[in-house]
Structure 1
Amino acid sequence: MQELETFKLIERISAILRSEERKKYAAIGLQPVHGQVLDYLAKCNHYSNTHAAVAEYLGLTKGTVSQTIQILERRHYLEKTTDAVDGRVVHLTLTETGYALLEDLKPLDVFKHAETQLSEREFETIGQALRATLSVLQKVNNSKSFGLCRSCRHFAVEANHYHCGLTEQPLARGDTEKICRDHQPFSDPHHEE
């Protein structure tokens, strides 16, 4: 059961980071896949900078990679060169503009901020570390926690039934095990006890 909780925490952290990434790329008219291609090409060697290698590494179709590379080439983030030995092979290399874009977009500011806040703390389990990371990322990103109802500051057990103090409504037992968009963690300093 602990593995499932760890997976859910990682999944939620990833969702926040993907959301931030999409915002950054949308601001410049690109998609995260464009950054993934540039990031791969910045790290790979001369034998691995081809359309096929990009598709294989990122798990994308050849069509998606081809369209992505066309966009990146039109925007002067990468350039194509034909292999000197095998004219059928096309190599993809980043331009200075491509490297500059990667520098501007990575690492995500929200993650750097969370890392700074958590770097001095020690955790007994990976679950504690992930929960703390998620909490900081949510605060930095001004996102809702979407936590389990039963872990919310408004959750209460009254006269043998479950109750939401925010809505002043009774809760079905099944709902207490589900996530809520109005969830407020007990440690949330922005809300009064």
Structure 2
Amino acid sequence: MHDLEIFKLIERISSLLRSEERKKYAAIGLQPVHGQVLEYLAKCNKYSNTHASVAEYLGLTKGTVSQSIQVLEKKRLLAKTTDQHDARVIHLSLTEAGLALINELKPLEIFRQAEAEISDQEFGNIDHALRTTLGMLQKANQSKSFGPCRSCLYFGVEAHHYQCQLTDEALDREDTDKICRDHMPVDYFTNQE
């Protein structure tokens, strides 16, 4: 019974935030899915900024993602570039207008107000509980974690630079804070037992 109550609380919080999000995006002629695509692209790294990664992260079909990307490209909120090593791969990035829009619309004011009412200690406990719950749900669903490079098993520090040990490529400082579709939590193997 307790688990069902937690689920209902998370579902209700999500509904309230999505409702507020719909209002904001409707005012500028976009759908919430368009905002979700922009938000994802604002926080993902260079390995994770493809159509397939967007679809996987958001749990959407490739068709829905392609249509959303077309809308965002027409509104000049994102740009496409061809991969230097594989011409079949298209990378997506936010334009200055796309970045400005994300900064203008997030975080939601209602969330800021609620957060201000919660003490730092309470918020820290909620943050930890939600992150743990998300991690467990991702494992149960066998979905990727999409975590930041710095918390990844493949993250390394070589002589004077950061390194992705999966791709064997150097990472820019800004990439280390972004999320990656190939993320492997450091504690993944210890939690499998």
Taking the aligned partners of 1:12 and 1:87, their CA distance within structure 2 comes to 44
Q: What RMSD in Å do the two structures reach over aligned CA positions?
A: 1.9
1:119 to partner: Cα distance: 2.6
Taking the aligned partners of 1:110 and 1:77, their CA distance within structure 2 comes to 25
Q: Hey, what does 1:96 align to over in structure 2?
A: 96
1:132-167: per-residue Cα shift (whole Å, max 9, x none)? xxxxxxxxxxxxxxxxxxxxxxxxxxxxxxxxxxxx
1:118 to partner: Cα distance: 2.3
1:46–1:2 CA distance, 2 compared to 1 (3 A): same
Q: Hey, what does 2:31 align to over in structure 1?
A: 31
Where does structure 2 lack aligned partners over 5 or more consecutive residues?
127-193
Taking the aligned partners of 1:54 and 1:12, their CA distance within structure 2 comes to 25
1:116 to partner: Cα distance: 0.8
1:2–1:77 CA distance, 2 compared to 1 (3 A): same
Q: Hey, what does 2:20 align to over in structure 1?
A: 20
Equivalences for residues 165-180 of structure 1 within 5 A: none
1:120–1:75 CA distance, 2 compared to 1 (3 A): same
Taking the aligned partners of 2:68 and 2:120, their CA distance within structure 1 comes to 40
2:114 corresponds to 1:114: yes
TM-score, length-normalised on structure 1? 0.61
Taking the aligned partners of 1:51 and 1:121, their CA distance within structure 2 comes to 39
Amino acid paired to 2:30: L
Question: Which of these two proteins has the greater Rg computed from alpha carbons?
Answer: 1
Query: What is the percent sequence identity of the aligned residues?
Result: 72
Taking the aligned partners of 1:78 and 1:121, their CA distance within structure 2 comes to 38
Q: Hey, what does 1:59 align to over in structure 2?
A: 59
Amino acid paired to 2:57: Y
SS of the aligned residue for 2:79 comes to: strand
2:85 corresponds to 1:85: yes
Taking the aligned partners of 1:14 and 1:44, their CA distance within structure 2 comes to 22
Taking the aligned partners of 1:51 and 1:104, their CA distance within structure 2 comes to 24
Taking the aligned partners of 1:73 and 1:110, their CA distance within structure 2 comes to 29
Q: Hey, what does 1:69 align to over in structure 2?
A: 69
1:113-141: per-residue Cα shift (whole Å, max 9, x none)? 11112236859x97xxxxxxxxxxxxxxx
1:84 to partner: Cα distance: 1.7
TM-score, length-normalised on structure 2? 0.61
* Moved segments of 4+, more than 6 Å: none
Equivalences for residues 172-191 of structure 1 within 5 A: none
Taking the aligned partners of 1:19 and 1:84, their CA distance within structure 2 comes to 40
Taking the aligned partners of 1:94 and 1:64, their CA distance within structure 2 comes to 18
1:22 to partner: Cα distance: 0.5
Amino acid paired to 2:116: T
1:39-65: per-residue Cα shift (whole Å, max 9, x none)? 111111112111111111111111101
